[in-house]
């Protein structure tokens, strides 16, 4: 399994395992089965339960085809809708624990998911051979849609514990210092903690300083107003976030 280095907003590279071709194919099959099940249910409801088949008897071939397209339309937009609403995951990807991400470290946008969806028409051509070959020969297992949108599919199956999450043990009598942390998102805090943990392991003081200054800038805090060392400050920020969001354990 190859790895991909994604540059975060703090200019720190974090390595992720790319999803294997097998994982992506299984996710595709799961999504395909869901879409097939949807079509079966819709057609059974239309023709058997509601008994509306007679409406098609007087229509020409193109009109009948148009009705079929309308009935099955959700299956066509299935990938782009789910990836947009669930941050890069369809039900199949969620079950396989893989996700679409931007290689540049930013959150993928609707436009990125749309580009992947449009290029799917090319990727699935020749029984999917085009997309399969692309994933095999590219460094990050990217199909053409991934290359065009600047995305990749990563695996979320890494072994993690509390030190790799936004969770932090805090005492019941803990008193927070920076209520401004509520302006941060879960994703922001995961990036902060992951970068901080990595920097501590290699004693990278430059990264710790950049991270501390970045947090103070986002929260609009004076650089020297905290009366804490940079490490103390980041530790407090992590604990405060868990305190205010109720994510203590």
Mean pLDDT within 52-76: 93
Give the count of alpha carbons within 13 A of 64, CB side only: 10
pLDDT (tens digit, 9 = 90+) per residue, 10-28? 455 566 789 999 999 999 9
Check whether 47 has a pLDDT greater than 80.
yes
Mean pLDDT within 148-163: 71
Mean pLDDT within 179-205: 86
Mean pLDDT within 130-153: 92
Mean pLDDT within 96-124: 89
What is the pLDDT, as a whole number, of residue 223?
58
pLDDT (tens digit, 9 = 90+) per residue, 112-133? 999 999 999 899 887 789 999 9
What is the pLDDT, as a whole number, of residue 118?
95
What is the pLDDT, as a whole number, of residue 190?
85
CB atoms within 10 A of CB 42: 16
Percent of the chain with pLDDT over 70: 85
CA 91 centroid distance within chain = 12
What is the pLDDT, as a whole number, of residue 185?
81
Measured CA to CA in angstroms, residue 226 lies from 48, 125, 184, 213, 245 at distances of 69, 58, 18, 11, 22
Check whether 158 has a pLDDT greater than 70.
no
* Predicted model pTM: 0.64
Q: What is the mean pLDDT of the chain?
A: 85
Identify which has the larger pLDDT, 11 or 5.
5
Cα(first)–Cα(last) distance of the chain, in Å?
33
Percent of the chain with pLDDT over 90: 45
Residue-by-residue DSSP string for the chain: --EEEEE-TTS-EEEEEBPPHHHHHHHHHHHHHHHHHHHHHHHHIIIIIS--GGGGTTS-HHHHHHHHHHHHHHHHHHHHHHHHHTTS--HHHHHHTEEEEETTSSPPPHHHHHHHHHHHHHHTTTTTHHHHHHHHHSTT---HHHHHHTEEEEE------GGGSS-----TT---S-GGGGGS-HHHHHHHHHHHHHHHHHT-HHHHHHHHHHHHHHTT--TTTT-S-HHHHHHHHHHHHHHHHT---
Mean pLDDT within 73-96: 94
């Amino acid at each position: 399994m190859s790895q991909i280095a994604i540059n975060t907003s703090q200019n720190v590279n974090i390595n992720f395992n790319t999803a294997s071709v097998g994982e992506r194919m299984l996710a595709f099959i799961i999504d395909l089965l869901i879409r097939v099940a949807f079509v079966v249910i819709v057609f059974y409801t239309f023709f058997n339960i509601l008994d509306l088949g007679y409406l098609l008897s007087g229509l020409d071939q193109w009109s009948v085809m148009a009705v079929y397209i309308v009935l099955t339309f959700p299956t066509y937009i299935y990938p782009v809708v789910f990836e947009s609403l669930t941050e890069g995951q369809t039900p199949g990807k969620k079950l396989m624990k893989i996700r679409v991400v931007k290689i540049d470290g930013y959150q993928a946008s609707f436009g990125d998911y749309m580009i992947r969806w449009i290029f799917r028409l090319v990727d699935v051509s020749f029984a999917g051979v085009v997309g399969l070959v692309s994933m095999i020969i590219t460094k990050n297992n990217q199909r053409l849609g991934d290359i065009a949108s600047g995305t990749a599919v990563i695996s979320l199956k890494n072994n993690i514990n509390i030190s790799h999450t936004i969770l932090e043990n805090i005492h019941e009598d803990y008193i927070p210092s920076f209520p401004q942390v509520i302006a941060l998102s879960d994703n922001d805090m995961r990036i902060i903690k992951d970068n901080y943990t990595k920097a501590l392991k290699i004693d990278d003081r430059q990264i710790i300083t950049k991270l501390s200054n970045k947090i103070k800038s986002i929260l609009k805090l004076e650089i020297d107003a905290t009366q804490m060392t940079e490490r103390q400050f980041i530790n407090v920020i992590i604990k405060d976030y868990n305190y205010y969001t109720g994510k203590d354990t």
